[in-house]
């Protein structure tokens, strides 16, 4: 289950990297290519928010569908999927209208300049027209994984990535559409992926199917899904806010060099965490299904294997980063001064990443078990309650201001993981006790 999920994460990363690589090579590279790449970079926070709305609906919906599949209540699982489909369509329409009307204001707020706004606006106006395709691709693909069809779910990502890689040079260079061509290639690729998903979910291979009679929104069905999806929504949507907080503080204390280092640090962190995300995605349907089936032994075993796998990977990653930081940094940049500065920063930034496997394993298992309150609290704890205040508090307490900003990440991670493991131990024991208890007559 986890192997295709990890592969899908890596394919999706390559998808984004290739997209930016093509845009960065629009001639003349020194002027147009550089500005175009910066312009598209400004669009990323908005794109991340759009993706976060898909997670808001689908992450909780897919987990609940798996739980009801375990209970053999397929009709309820189909109603959950149908309600999520309808809500994703409505959200897509609203987001499309908002971005079309306020695109320029939003892009300027996220850092577009007079030189880059033209490229950012050109990309975002076209990309937002495909919001429906993006939402349904990201959102409904989770329901394929929830049924245990992880290879089919991976193929969805692969189809979109291959189409985008083929269409990008045709539209950008062949038809000379530039940045607009990149956006057009992306939404066409997402539309193809969406068609693949909908064909599967309405076909005979799918355990639960999208049916017209199950699409009517019901508060009792959709609200628990949204409540459970709030945690991944917050985790994804606040990434841009965290970036703004880090960059503003680092610019103040360390200048452009420190901001450049931060870009590499976040890239290394995101790249390194992909296998952990794949592992948790692979475990979610198994955990949710057996929880719904009241099979406590298999739920415990699934979590045990997930925790061991995540911890082995995170400890190995931490060791590699501490021993060979330069190797990770030079994947993204090889400029000597920046590399030398970032080596020290990376070691600090990922100082306690060896415990991050426990954080993700516990947090995602809360979602798999349908525990909305705990998963929401933990999502808020690490980023909003701890990390953002620490970015501004630590420089006031430590002489080396730049190091203090980088130190906010490991301090927040350590406190968050300690809280998560403690809370999870208590809540997991209670949940398993409920499953072990004999049914009341």
| pLDDT tens for each residue of 221-273 | 999 999 988 888 888 888 777 877 887 888 889 887 887 788 778 778 877 78
The whole-number pLDDT of residue 140 equals 94
In this prediction, residues 407-433 reach a mean pLDDT of 93
Question: Is 440 a residue whose pLDDT tops 60?
Answer: no
411 contact partners, CB below 8 Å, separation of at least 6: 386, 390, 394
- pLDDT reported for residue 203: 92
pLDDT, tens digit, 9 for 90 and up, residues 128-163? 999 999 999 989 999 998 898 888 988 888 898 889
Rg (CA), the chain: 22
Of residues 213 and 258, the one with the higher pLDDT is: 213
Average pLDDT on 76-95 reads: 97
Q: What would the mean pLDDT of 114-140 be, rounded to a whole number?
A: 90
**Higher-scoring residue by pLDDT: 2, 325:** 325
pLDDT of residue 421: 94
Confidence (pLDDT) at 32:
64
CA distance 156 to 137: 8
Position 420 confidence tier, pLDDT thresholds 50, 70, 90: very high
Percent with pLDDT over 90 in the chain: 49
When pLDDT is averaged across residues 93-106 and rounded to a whole number, the result is: 94
Percent of the chain with pLDDT over 70: 93
Is it the case that residue 376 has pLDDT exceeding 60? yes
pLDDT of the residue at 31: 54
pLDDT of residue 217: 94
Find the length of the chain.
441
Q: Is pLDDT above 60 for 379? A: yes
Alpha-helical (H) ranges within 147-238 are: 150-169, 178-201, 219-237
Categorize the per-residue pLDDT at 109 as very low, low, confident or very high, splitting at 50, 70 and 90.
Answer: confident
346 vs 343: CA distance, rounded Å: 5
| Structure-block tokens of residue 21 | 């690589």
Q: Tens of pLDDT along 282-341?
A: 898 899 999 999 999 999 999 999 999 999 999 999 999 999 999 888 876 677 888 899
Q: How many helices (H) and strands (E) does the chain have?
A: 16, 0
In this prediction, residues 29-53 reach a mean pLDDT of 74
As a whole number, the mean pLDDT across the chain is 87
pTM listed for this prediction: 0.80
Q: Does the pLDDT value for residue 86 go beyond 70?
A: yes
Domain ranges of the chain: 2-229, 257-436
Mean pLDDT of 206-214: 93
- In tens, the pLDDT along 347-373 reads 999 999 999 899 989 988 988 888 888
Model confidence at 191, in pLDDT bands (50, 70, 90)? very high
Q: How does DSSP assign 347-371, residue by residue?
A: HHHTTTGGGHHHHHHHHHHHHHTT-
Nearest to 145 by CA among 323, 5, 294: 5
């Amino acid at each position: 289950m986890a192997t295709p999920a990890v592969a899908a994460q890596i394919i999706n990363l390559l998808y984004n990297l290739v997209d930016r690589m093509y845009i960065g090579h629009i001639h003349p590279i020194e002027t147009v290519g550089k500005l175009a790449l910066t312009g598209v970079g400004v669009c990323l926070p908005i794109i991340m928010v759009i993706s976060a709305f898909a997670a808001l609906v689908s992450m909780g919906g897919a987990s609940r569908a798996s739980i009801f599949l375990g209970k053999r209540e397929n009709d309820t699982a189909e109603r959950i999927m149908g309600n999520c489909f309808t809500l994703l369509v409505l959200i897509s329409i609203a987001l499309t209208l908002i971005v079309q009307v306020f695109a320029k204001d939003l892009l300027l707020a996220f850092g577009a300049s007079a030189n880059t706004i033209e490229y950012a606006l050109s990309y975002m106006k076209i990309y937002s027209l495909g919001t429906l395709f993006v939402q349904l691709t990201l959102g409904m693909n989770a329901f394929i994984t929830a049924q245990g069809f992880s290879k089919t779910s991976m193929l969805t990502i692969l189809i979109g990535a291959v189409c985008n890689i083929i269409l990008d040079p045709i539209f950008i260079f062949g038809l000379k559409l530039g940045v607009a061509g990149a956006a057009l290639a992306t939404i066409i690729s997402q539309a193809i992926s969406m068609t693949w998903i909908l064909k599967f979910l309405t076909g005979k291979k799918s355990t639960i199917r999208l049916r017209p009679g199950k699409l009517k929104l019901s508060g009792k069905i959709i609200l628990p899904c949204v409540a459970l999806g709030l945690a991944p929504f917050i985790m994804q949507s606040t990434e841009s806010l965290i970036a703004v907080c880090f960059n503003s503080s680092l610019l103040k204390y360390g200048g452009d060099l420190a901001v450049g280092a931060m870009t590499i640090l976040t890239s290394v962190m995101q790249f390194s965490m992909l296998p952990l995300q794949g592992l948790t995605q692979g475990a979610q349907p198994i955990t949710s299904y057996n929880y719904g089936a009241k099979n406590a032994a298999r739920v415990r075993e699934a979590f045990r294997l997930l925790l061991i796998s995540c911890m082995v990977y995170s400890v190995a990653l931490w060791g590699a980063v501490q021993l060979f930081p330069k190797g990770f940094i030079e994947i993204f940049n090889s400029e000597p001064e920046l590399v030398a500065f970032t080596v020290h920063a990376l070691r600090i930034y990922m100082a306690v990443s060896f415990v991050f496997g426990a954080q993700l394993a516990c947090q995602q298992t809360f979602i798999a078990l349908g525990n909305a309150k705990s998963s929401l609290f933990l999502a808020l704890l690490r980023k909003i309650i701890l990390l953002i205040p620490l970015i501004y508090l630590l420089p006031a307490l430590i002489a080396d201001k730049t190091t203090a900003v980088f130190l906010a990440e490991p301090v927040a991670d350590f406190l968050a993981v300690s809280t998560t493991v403690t809370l999870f131990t208590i809540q997991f024991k209670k949940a398993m006790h409920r499953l072990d208890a004999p049914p009341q007559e």
